[in-house]
Structure 1
């Protein structure tokens, strides 16, 4: 086990989340755990916001997000352990009269203790950091025909990006369509047309845009993944599953494939066993990739558990978890 052994002198603590109160009998450290978690998580969020997603797959982006969270885990362990000590009656007193206590910080990412602190920060970020989900959702790996060398096409594409960021999706579509007039093989422009139509709940138009992108680049990750989502919104669940299965043939380590299929079986088709088989695969890949979407898989697995419990199949639930080496907390 990798650990750091630290001797902390309480007279030197200056962190904003700590305060000291002195009485006649002892000196007690007051600690605001929620505030401390918020401060460290906001540091991680700023780090995540600075990550570039250009021509990166989701697993690479997840690894960089993991690095941002990892930077804060040691500090979170230290602060929490200092706070758990309470008053200083049992602390060691040195020759200079200062009291200190020995604290062990676990830096082994595979240890249960490290994961506990890591997941607390990760869970906070998933609820409060806008950047984390937008970064991890990026799949824009540049292929031969993904982008354009035509200056006019790029000009209108960038204008479309500006309008998309403002959520002016109708105007954005106008610009993206102008981009493909100048370059009919501009796959990313079609991808963004599809995304905008999906935001406007125009799912048939979104599907057409994704299909145009796939004609240009049959292996495009963004259209393959998003066309499945559009089919879910249309309640055409069989086509959605087939789209995910097609994506799986190209990218078998993409957790979104198994999460997407699991989500369909869990929430729409109510086939909980098939749902759990896929969600367990998604969960394990998320964990391997250090993806924060692990928490979404956990939420769905809990929903599946309730469904199987109602069917009297708790034993089946445990057997499937055991098959994928997933332990229940």
Structure 2
């Protein structure tokens, strides 16, 4: 990336009064959405909350409001605040809290035979003996067909053998059991990218974004695939968000998002689209200098 192009994030608090107004608007829309649902599940509740949140905040004319979800902490804080308003506006429409799903689905198998076979399979993986690992994972899944960790690691083993079709097969089995699984969503996107099926890869990365909006991998994966498809605007939107989250997490992957953004800048500059690049950067509250 050229020295005259750099990124830095603008972080500033937004007016509490205005933020409360936005939260009230989101909560009102969410309650309206929930009222239309015949059965309020956790998934329905999440969708009714996140959809109006993204629509109202990202289209707000005040850049300070849009900045409010430019960090992981900002996203989490906004969700908690909106949930608080929803619980007051329509408390009868809020579902009961459930166990942490990751703890449930990413835990050990309750079947001891399945767990023992899984441990053996992981040892084979550490030795890069993926064929033997697969055999042991198969034994684990024979005992416990709903063992998500075994399904995910089976898929990883196939991917290490460049068998992307079988990798995808087992990631899909995992998602049938735990549709929000961030590991399977992220890695099935990678597998489809390796198969050059970029549109399908994007569809899974967008599901990852839907379920885990604070996970940079969803935005980075989607942005990378949009970049390959030469959809520069969508690529930039996603890559800017990924870069913001990576930077706030002090992640080493920030250099990867910065590299792709730099490549897009040079491409768009050569196509006389530098103004469009700057416009998208401004929309994402990123200042260029």
TM over 0.5: yes
Q: Distance in 2 between matches of 1:303 and 1:167?
A: 34
Aligned to 1:169: 130
**Residue pair 1:145, 1:216 contacting (<8 A) in 2 also:** no
Where 1:185 maps in the other structure, the secondary structure is coil
| Candidates 198, 202, 226, aligned match of 2:187 | 226
Does the alignment pair 1:284 with 2:239?
Answer: no
- Root-mean-square deviation (CA, aligned residues, Å) is 1.7
What's the CA shift string for 1:155-195, capped at 9, x where partnerless?
A: 11111111111111111111111111111111000000111
On the 8 A contact 2:141/2:150 being kept in 1, the answer is yes
Gaps of 5+ in 1: 1-139
* TM alignment of 1:7-22, pairs within 5 A: none
Instruction: Quote the Cα distance in structure 1 between the aligned partners of 2:247 and 2:258.
Output: 11
Query: Map of 1:23-42 to 2, 5 A cutoff?
Result: none
Query: Per-residue displacement from partner, 1:77-118 (whole Å, max 9, x unpaired)?
Result: xxxxxxxxxxxxxxxxxxxxxxxxxxxxxxxxxxxxxxxxxx
Q: Secondary structure at the match of 1:327?
A: strand
Question: Which has the larger Rg?
Answer: 1
Higher relative CO (Cα under 8 Å, sequence separation at least 6) belongs to 2
- Name whichever structure is richer in helix by fraction: 2
CA separation in 1, counterparts of 2:113 and 2:180? 26
Q: In the alignment, what sits opposite 1:239?
A: 200
Per-residue CA deviations over 1:39-79 (Å, capped at 9, x if unaligned) read xxxxxxxxxxxxxxxxxxxxxxxxxxxxxxxxxxxxxxxxx
TM-score (structure 2 length as normaliser): 0.62
CA contact (8 A) 2:105 2:148 kept: no
Distance 1:146 1:316 in 2: 46
* Matched residue SS, 1:181: helix
Instruction: Describe how 1:151-162 pairs up with structure 2 within 5 A.
Output: 151-162=112-123
Q: What does residue 278 of structure 2 align with? A: 318
Q: Quick one: distance in 2 between partners of 1:144 and 1:195?
A: 17
Instruction: Decide which structure has greater strand share.
Output: 1
Match of 2:266 in 1: 306
**What displacement does 1:224 show?**
1.1
Classify the secondary structure of the residue corresponding to 2:104.
coil
Instruction: Provide closer, same or farther for how the CA distance between residues 320 and 145 of structure 1 changes in structure 2, counting only shifts above 3 A.
Output: closer
Which digits, 9 at most, give the CA deviation of each residue in 1:103-147, with x for residues without a partner? xxxxxxxxxxxxxxxxxxxxxxxxxxxxxxxxxxxxx94334643
